[in-house]
Each structure stands twice: as structure tokens, then as C-alpha cells.
Amino acid sequence: MKFEAIVIGLSSGGMSAMKMMFSILPKDFGIPIVIVQHINANSNGFWIKFLNDNSNLNIKEADEKEKIMPGNIYIAPPNYHLLIEKNKTFSLTIDERVNFARPSIDVLFETAAETYKEKLIGIVLTGANQDGTEGIKHIKEFGGLAIIQDPETAESSYMPASAMAAIKADYILPLAEIIALLIKIDQQKN
Amino acid sequence: MEISLLLEAVYQKYGYDFRQYSQAHIGRRVRNRMALSGINDISQIQSKVLEDKEFAYQLLQDLSITVTEMFRDPEFYKSLRKNVIPILKTYPFIKIWHAGCATGEEAYSMAILLQEEGLYDRTTIYATDFNQLALNRAKEGIFSNKVIKEYTLNYQLMEGKKSFSSYYTSSYDHVIMNQSLKKNIVWANHNLVTDSVFAEVNLILCRNVLIYFDHDLQNKVQKLFYNSLIGGGVLCLGSKESLHFSTLEEKYSVLDKNQRIFKKKY
């Protein structure tokens, strides 16, 4: 299979969704995953370490200029936008909030779409905000695969519903089935 | 590809050099400007930049990030008070450089901290930016009531010694910073990308500027900072910035790893 990266956006309800995802994904999951979770600006990033300490996966805060490597899960640091450069490295910025959010899902998704094009999977999960809608549109325009959490099964339905209204998603599924699908895609790749 | 042609044109015509900035960042800002101005392709924006000076300066504003706060990252200011102020106290005269000061919030924060520590009268703060509009606003020292609430909270979190409201005068929907805070701040136009050393200083603060630059430009600016600091001088970077990829890393010792505060070795 062709996919080189997965980007995921979460807002309210995101913590329990991530915990579930990280407990199911196998240790050898290959495709790199990049995540924006809306979080309080003064949070110090300790929660990312906490997630890593309680998982088999390699979960870390994305560093500026860091090269995106298979087998890693990267999370945007609080109070910075996370962008992906053409050379598949990260940039961080302190630009204005987008959709009241920094980090913003749209910012990650738009720059990821331009870099990975049809080799990107974009996923919008639980949230009470419309961040991610423009970004997932962008991912579709560049030929990527769009997956949205079935709003009825999301802790907060607004964000996935907003994304659903904007595009024709490739998959609309409950979280457990999204995870199963990702595992299947990743195994086909190997 | 085409964005790099646009940046080349901006540099050749106006002397502002964004060629070594984060391309993903510049791309977003340029596309936002195109959407706002109803421009559909890059070649069109390029000719508009070359022909229309006002539009070019608008684009410069778009590419210049002026997002800042007073006492942004209160933990950083606590560390400044604890780890850097004692060093500054050993000097008869103190020179501080805020590189990329934007609208001046951090320079005012520093002036407040120095006043509280009894150091301000023997200090000169050079606050520089390439964005003249931002500098003009910084000089005025007028901030909206809306942001003052947030700044007050930051000030309390960094354990400020007074009431924050004693540092400004309220007027309608904004506040004016006290004249006594402004008197030793020199606001000056300086471009980190194209300008060179202008003073020897005891302390440099450049927070969340280098993240916008590529490795080569980061290294070049790090060299500029190194050459501008006296031996034993202190360098403060943003919370996600480091000296890791700089050839100068070994020429500094670490004063506070988490808050990214470094001391130039003698």
C-alpha cells in the first residue's frame, strides 16, 4: 500500500480516544502518526510523556526540524502550531490561533496534504469545534484518504459532523473500527 | 517552487529576505493573503508585489509574526528572576537585547522585572525588529484592555511583586504603560537575517523567532548572538528552541534546561 503518514485531529473527548487508540495499536505499527489535540496553552507537555509511559508505542512531542520517521507517534506541543515541510520535517510556529486553537488541526492537515498528497490519511475524531474541517477538505483535494469518526459514536459530535458535512468521506466509522482499519492498511503496506 | 520565486522578488526589490524561512509557514501566509485579495496564482501575486508598493508592505506584515504577550511563559520569568537577575546585579551597567521584539510586550515585561529588582536605572534595553509598524506600536506602549487581563494573570503567575495595574494608566478601552518603564528602552529597526552586530550586551532574549528559520539561517543568527554577547553573557531562547544543532552549543553552559537559558563561556 501507498500511505506514508497519518494525521489525526482531536478536541474535547480526545484524551480518552487517544488512550483507546494507543492501547489497541500494535507495537510494530509502521506508518508515522501525527496528532493535534487541543489543549490548554499552559499545559507543560507532561501528558505526552504520560501517554508514552503507559504505552508500548513510541509517542513523543514533535520537535521543530525533527524528521518524521516510521514507527513514531508525534503530538503537537501546547501553544504552538505544528506544520509539515516538503522535506518531511516539522516546523513549529506561534502564529495567531486558527479556529480559536493553537495548535490547530487545519494548519497541520493543510501542510501535511501538500507534502504527502495521495499518500496521506486524515482522520477527524471527537471535538466540539469546527477545526479540522478545512484541513480534511484540503486532504481530499490533494487525493488523500479521509476518515471521520461516526458523530453518533463520538464523545463530542460537533467536530466530526462538521467535517462530514464538508466532504464526501472515504470512511465514517466508530473509533474501534477506525483503529482496525488503520492496522489493516499498515499490514498491507508491509 | 513558485513561492521561492516570489521570495526572491521580494528580496531583490525590497531587501527583506524570507528565502530561508520555513516554507510551509510562508506558503500558508502567502495563500491567506491571496485568498483575502482575490488573487488566484503565484505569478499574479508576484507581479502585484513588484508593481504595488502598498501591497508589498501588506505582504511584509503578513510574513512578520507579531504574536506576543507580556510575561509569556510565566515559568520562564520566574527562572529569569532566580537565575539571571543575580548575574546582572554584578554589573555596573547592563545592556539587554530583545531581538525580534514585535509590539514590545516582552521588553516592557523585562523593564518591570528590572524595576522590581532595582536594576532598571542602570540598564539599557535595545528592543529591535524589522517590522517598523510593530516597532511604532511598541514605542507607544498602548495595549487593549482585552489582553491586559491575560497579562495580569501571567504577571501573577510569575510572582510579580506589586499590583500589575500600578504599571499602567487606564483610558477607555486601553491602557498606557508608565513612562518610567519606557525611559531606558531604545527601539530600533534591525533585521536578524540581513543586519549584523550592533552592540556588546549582557543578555539576549530571542524567543520563538528562530523556529521560523531553516538550519543554516538559525546557525547564522546564533553566530550573531554569540558575537554580541560578552563573556558570561546570557542567551534566552523560546521553550521549543535549542542550541542542539548549532555548532556553538559547547560554547555555552546551561543555566536552565527547561526554560532554555544559556550562559556564554568565558
Contact between B131 and B61 (Cβ < 8 Å)? yes
Domain that holds residue B39: 2-63
**B95/chain A closest Cα distance in angstroms:** 27
Average pLDDT, chain B: 95
How far does chain A reach from its first CA to its final CA, in angstroms? 8
In this structure, is residue B152 part of a structural domain?
no
Which residue(s) pair with B237 in the sheet?
B206
In this structure, is residue B153 part of a structural domain?
no
In this structure, is residue A189 part of a structural domain?
no
Nearest to B22 among A80, A91, A94 (CB): A91
- Is A11 a residue of the active site? yes
- Is A16 a residue of the active site? no
Average pLDDT, chain A: 95
Give the number of domains in chain B. 2
CB contact under 8 A, A95 and B65: yes
For residues B44 and B122, state if they share a domain: no
In this structure, is residue A171 part of a structural domain?
no
Range B96-121 average pLDDT: 97
Give the number of domains in chain A. 1
In this structure, is residue A104 part of a structural domain?
yes
The CATH number given to whatever domain includes residue A106 is: 3.40.50.180
CB contact under 8 A, A85 and B23: yes
Which element (helix H / strand E) includes A73? strand A72-75
| Catalytic entry in A106, A131, A138, A157 | A131
Domain that holds residue A126: 5-145
Reported as half-sphere exposure (CB side, CA atoms, 13 A), residue A108 has a value of: 33
- Is the pLDDT at B18 greater than 90? The verdict is yes
SS3 content of chain A, % helix, strand, coil (to 5): 35, 25, 40
- Is the pLDDT at A157 greater than 80? The verdict is yes
The CATH number given to whatever domain includes residue B248 is: 3.40.50.150
Q: Which of A79, A90, A91 to mutate to test the interface with B (most CBs of B within 10 A)?
A: A91
In this structure, is residue A185 part of a structural domain?
no
Range A122-139 average pLDDT: 97
What is the predicted pLDDT for the residue at A190?
Answer: 53
- Is the pLDDT at B156 greater than 90? The verdict is yes
Distance of CA B141 to the CA centre of its chain: 15
What is the predicted pLDDT for the residue at B193?
Answer: 94
Query: In this structure, which amino acid lies at residue B266?
Result: Y
Rounded alpha-carbon distances, angstroms, from residue B246 to A76, B138, B192: 23, 31, 16
For residues B81 and B205, state if they share a domain: yes
Burial A80-116 (b: 16+ CB within 10 A, else e): bbbbbbeebbbbbbbbebbbebbbbbbbbbbbbbbbb
CB contact under 8 A, A96 and B67: yes
CB contact under 8 A, A64 and B211: yes
Residue in B closest to A80 by C-alpha: B240
